[in-house]
Amino acid sequence: MEITYLLNSGFMVKSDRLLLVFDDFADPARAVEVALRKGDFDYLYIFASHAHFDHFDSHILNYKNNVAKYIFSNDIKHTKRAKAFPTEKTVYLKKYDGYEDDNIKVVSFDSTDVGTSFLVEAENKKIFHAGDFNWWDWTGDTEENRKLAKNGFFKQLKKLEGLSFDAAFFPVDGRLESSEELGAREFLKATETKILIAMHRAGYPSWIPSKDFFPKEPIPIWSPAKEGERRDFN
């Protein structure tokens, strides 16, 4: 897999025949445009986990002639922007919903914010994109709200327990300060994840895991900080 950082939670994954684009609300390095011009793929799938401005933007309509499917969370369906997307190429997934064709299989999971997260199986790889699913433990919040956030997170995490992912994109949000790693650590504890890519870090430097971050054996970590960064993973 060749993975390119777009911005915030936006990433592009290139495998043998497929190009998968997640939460492309902005692409300052124009990585998707470059990939489309290069054209060394057969099918393009574009995902949006929810309608928040930093995850979904109408500029992805520019790629409609190349797109096999737009796969969106169901909350996007109720926005004005959704009306512009071609109905024959757009799929809206509710929580715990699914989509499958000859190239990919997609299962949606819940979030602890708006929308969904996605598990995508394609070309013998399993990729998880969390969207805004995270343990949102805001340091200055009330104890009641922090408890609700914790309970909500672990409730959804049970749905993922024991699953295996070749690569997982998960928030490690610097705004959470001392709590930024909490969700990602518990996610790794509950799942069998081979590679973890930190996201939702726009405006923050590359994340370096703390000494006791890994709940099991250490795995490869990537925390991109510059738009257009690219890494190859086996």
Whichever domain contains 168, its CATH number is 3.60.15.10
Which pLDDT belongs to residue 234? 78
pLDDT digits (tens, 9 = 90+) for 214-231: 999 999 999 999 999 999
Q: Residue 138 belongs to what domain range? A: 2-232
Q: How many CB atoms lie within 10 A of CB 155?
A: 11
Q: What is the distance between the alpha carbons of residues 68 and 45, in angstroms, rounded to a whole number?
A: 6
Query: How many C-alpha atoms does 11 have within 13 Å on its Cβ side?
Result: 29
Which pLDDT belongs to residue 97? 98
Backbone angles phi, psi at 134, to 5 degrees: -170, 165
For the chain, residues with pLDDT lower than 50 are none
Which pLDDT belongs to residue 154? 98
Q: What is the distance between the alpha carbons of residues 129 and 117, in angstroms, rounded to a whole number?
A: 6
Backbone angles phi, psi at 77, to 5 degrees: -55, -25
Token code pair at residue 134: 């995270």
Number of domains in the chain: 1
Q: Is 151 helix (H, G, I), strand (E, B) or coil?
A: helix
Token code pair at residue 103: 């190239």
Q: Of 17, 5, 66, 2, whose CA–CA distance to 37 is shortest?
A: 66
Q: Is 91 helix (H, G, I), strand (E, B) or coil?
A: strand
